[in-house]
Structure 1
């Protein structure tokens, strides 16, 4: 497979300033262009845009994966193994409440990976994961 181009992801947030603080000062993402209603971020080389949208009723849902309740929907990125662990340490140091604390999913099985889940201030679920062996990303 050839090198993938960066992706673009836009997500709704109900409070631009709270989420701007979270993505800028908690996650340490570099801010790009912005307006009163949206902010661009460098999301590990990809473009993440937070867009204002008024809050609607909570529609939380989870699916069981490896004995954990995985929030649906969620988004995230696959990081290099070492970067994942450094990022996990950063998140822990900032006192972020995890939905699923960093752990090794499918340990000793096909698709073994490090993963963690947490939410931004608007309730968007984020997953970050890493594979020691990148060939396991799509392994069956």
Structure 2
């Protein structure tokens, strides 16, 4: 039986709150929620994301090897439905957003086959967006 997923909450620092907020709102299309002078909540595809003015998360990060690619560490993102992922790719291309790792299929032909891409959001944040043709395979090995 499939379990019903509930929204996650993630709060993290960004180096430029205003620039990050503009990006999440205008480029990613996230709805703005509660806010104060030093933080802003967003609806990130149904999840509660809190941007806080602060130091870079990436300053001490590096990369991790996944499917022969150097992926940024730390990073986070959302697993989207197939069409939503493709629509986001189109939206980002239309906004001339540079991909850190171009949209591609990872683990082709394996149980965890997925579409993925990485972008860098303003405020020094690395984001990954994934999709699966079958959500039952998100945790397949």
| TM-score, structure 1 normalization | 0.94
**Partner residue, 1:91:** 92
* Corresponding residue for residue 48 of structure 1: 49
Partner of 1:68: 69
State which drifts further: 102-111 or 59-68.
59-68
- Distance apart, 1:14 and its partner CA: 1.3
Where structure 2 has 5 or more consecutive residues not aligned to the other structure, the ranges are: none
How many residues are treated as equivalent by the alignment?
Answer: 140
Q: How far did 1:56 drift?
A: 7.8
Change (3 A) 1:138 1:36: same
Give 1:24's aligned residue: 25
Partner of 2:119: 118
Note the C-alpha offset of 1:88. 0.8
Structure 1 alignment gaps of length 5 or more: none
Taking structure 2 as the reference length, the TM-score comes to 0.93
Q: For each residue in 1:80-125, what CA deviation from the matched residue of structure 2 results, as whole angstroms up to 9, or x when unmatched? A: 0111000111111111111111111111112000001011112211
SS in 2 for 1:129: strand
Shift of 1:59: 2.1
Q: CA deviation at 1:131?
A: 0.2
Q: Determine if contact 2:104/2:116 at 8 Å carries over to the other structure.
A: yes
Cα shift readout 1:20-69 (whole Å, capped 9, x = no counterpart): 11111111111011111000100111100100114588223111111211
